[in-house]
């Protein structure tokens, strides 16, 4: 082993520089900073769609910090939980502010993440060689959903209690293991003190640890292959004399300033919501949740928080009558695969057998619509993980795709927003029909993507990124 060599500084060097040098000799602090940000070269044509990754990191830190302060006064006990939240709101100095920052931060987190995922859809950021980045991001999304679900019960209000009751009961629709699985998740036959304690443990310790690990993996994978850009061009393929891509710039200070501006705008909007409309009309904080949980009094309309409602609408849309439409859709898709797909005969045969079993299972005498609602609810989330292998477009960015592709993406956004809104409303005949139509479009968008994404006349992708100094 080589001898330890300590960095020597001139006697008149600043104390801060000497301290940093002392640390660098024992821990690669400066190297980590340079590798992950300071000297990380990113494409120079980023637009403001690219601020949401940094914003997500900022909101994650905000949630962790405010969550730590909330746990100092929160009591994970069924008889004390609601009262402890009221104590935080009314008696703890600035407790109301911390609680509203945390509750608003939860909704802000999902808004930022959904916009971050939208940018990936628009510019093909999930395409080769960034498939693993997308999978890590998808795992982060799943963790966020779990984190939000476990945290939703903690205030122990009416909507928290009954929302958790409904969601946990969904697992009971799984054949054979469903009832035992629901019992295991709750820790009791109903949502009770045991449920609250285990949800608290998952929300405060287990999920955040997994989340931080996935965020680290997401960033390491990103910086290994490099960032995408609005043109979908691989800037690493055109290096300059210094070894860096000619169409890239150091993240610091250029994108540091860029992201700080984004954070400033975010904080302006975030502060306006926290101080003037923390309930956001009942979407961020439901009015029923300001009432203590009562197992003997069911709210008139039980729905999850808004960020789950697009997928919840898929669940509600799966009615007994709609099953016949779904059976026909599955059969039509299998026929389409046989006629249009280049898959091997054996693969097609396996898909056909699985589809036949599914169609038989959809018959009302075999499995009820509730079970298939849970299946499609989960499928509407999981299908996003396969996006890198569903998109067969010869170009990555939507800038160079046919015009009609853009309309498909716009319609997907409308369908997602409509499903989200309908999920917050009480069930109705018209609402159910609209949900069913948009559910079919949502799945068709992804399942037919291998064909439509390769169709049409594509524009020529430039050799270098399009950039205009401003």
Which segments are annotated as binding site for a ubiquinone? 223
Q: Please name the residues in contact with 66: beta carbons below 8 A apart, sequence gap of 6 or more.
A: 98, 101, 102, 105
Cis peptide leading into residue 418 (ω within 30°): no
Structure tokens at 41: 């070269």
Closest by CA position to 434, among listed 316, 283, 304 = 316
CA 350, distance to chain mean position in Å, is 32
Rounded CA-CA distance 134/390 in Å is 13
Is residue 144 a contact partner of residue 110, using CB atoms and an 8 Å limit?
yes
Question: What does the angle CA 40 – CA 44 – CA 50 come to, to the nearest 5 degrees?
Answer: 80
The sign of the dihedral angle between the CA atoms of 467, 130, 241, 24 is positive
Question: What does the angle CA 230 – CA 234 – CA 236 come to, to the nearest 5 degrees?
Answer: 130
Structure tokens at 101: 């920052």
Is residue 207 a contact partner of residue 147, using CB atoms and an 8 Å limit?
yes
Is residue 235 a contact partner of residue 248, using CB atoms and an 8 Å limit?
yes
Look up residue 243 and give its DSSP letter. S
The annotated binding site for heme b is made up of 102, 116, 203, 218
The annotated binding site is made up of 102, 116, 203, 218, 223
Indicate the SS3 state at residue 122: helix
The sign of the dihedral angle between the CA atoms of 383, 384, 386, 387 is positive
Structure tokens at 381: 């989330």
Indicate the SS3 state at residue 311: helix
CA 463, distance to chain mean position in Å, is 33
Rounded CA-CA distance 33/20 in Å is 12
């Amino acid at each position: 082993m080589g001898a330890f060599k300590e960095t020597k500084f001139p006697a008149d060097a600043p104390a801060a520089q000497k301290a940093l040098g002392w640390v660098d000799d024992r821990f690669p602090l400066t190297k980590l900073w340079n590798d992950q940000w300071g000297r990380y070269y990113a494409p120079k044509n980023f637009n403001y769609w690219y601020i949401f990754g940094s914003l997500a990191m900022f909101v994650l830190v905000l949630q962790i910090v405010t969550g730590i302060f909330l746990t100092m006064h929160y009591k994970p006990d069924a008889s004390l939980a609601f009262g402890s939240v009221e104590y935080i709101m009314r008696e703890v100095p600035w407790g109301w502010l911390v609680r509203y920052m945390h509750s608003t931060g939860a909704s802000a987190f999902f808004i930022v993440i959904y916009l971050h995922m939208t940018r990936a859809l628009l510019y093909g950021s999930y395409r080769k060689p960034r498939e693993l980045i997308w999978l890590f991001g998808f795992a982060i999304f799943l963790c966020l959903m779990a984190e939000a679900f476990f945290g939703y019960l903690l205030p122990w209000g009416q909507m928290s209690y009954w929302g958790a009751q409904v969601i946990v009961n969904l697992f009971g629709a799984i054949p054979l293991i469903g009832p035992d699985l629901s019992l295991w998740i709750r820790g009791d036959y109903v949502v009770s003190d045991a449920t609250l304690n285990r949800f608290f443990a998952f929300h405060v310790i287990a999920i955040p640890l997994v989340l931080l690990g996935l965020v680290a993996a997401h960033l390491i994978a990103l910086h290994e292959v490099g960032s995408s850009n609005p043109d979908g061009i691989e800037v690493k393929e055109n290096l300059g004399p210094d070894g860096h891509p000619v169409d890239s710039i150091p993240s610091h200070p250029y994108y540091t300033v860029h992201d700080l501006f984004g954070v400033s705008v975010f904080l302006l909007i975030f502060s306006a919501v926290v101080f003037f409309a923390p309930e956001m009309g009942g979407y961020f904080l439901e009015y029923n949740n300001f009432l203590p949980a009562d197992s003997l009094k069911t709210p008139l309309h039980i729905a999850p928080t808004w960020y789950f409602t697009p997928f919840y609408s898929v669940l509600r849309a799966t009615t007994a009558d709609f099953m016949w439409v779904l059976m026909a859709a599955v059969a039509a898709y299998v026929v389409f695969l046989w006629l249009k797909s280049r898959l091997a005969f054996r693969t097609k045969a396996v898909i056909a057998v699985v589809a036949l079993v599914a169609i038989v299972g959809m018959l009302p005498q075999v499995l009820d619509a509730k079970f298939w609602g849970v299946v499609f609810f989960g499928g509407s989330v999981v299908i996003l993980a396969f996006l890198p292998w569903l998109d067969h477009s010869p170009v990555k960015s939507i800038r160079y795709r046919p015009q009609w592709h853009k309309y498909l993406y716009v319609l997907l956004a409308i369908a997602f927003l409509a499903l989200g809104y309908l999920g917050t409303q009480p069930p109705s005949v018209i609402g159910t029909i609209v949900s069913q139509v948009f559910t079919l479009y949502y799945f068709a968008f992804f399942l037919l993507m291998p064909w439509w994404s390769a169709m049409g006349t594509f524009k020529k992708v430039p050799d270098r990124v399009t950039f205009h100094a401003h």
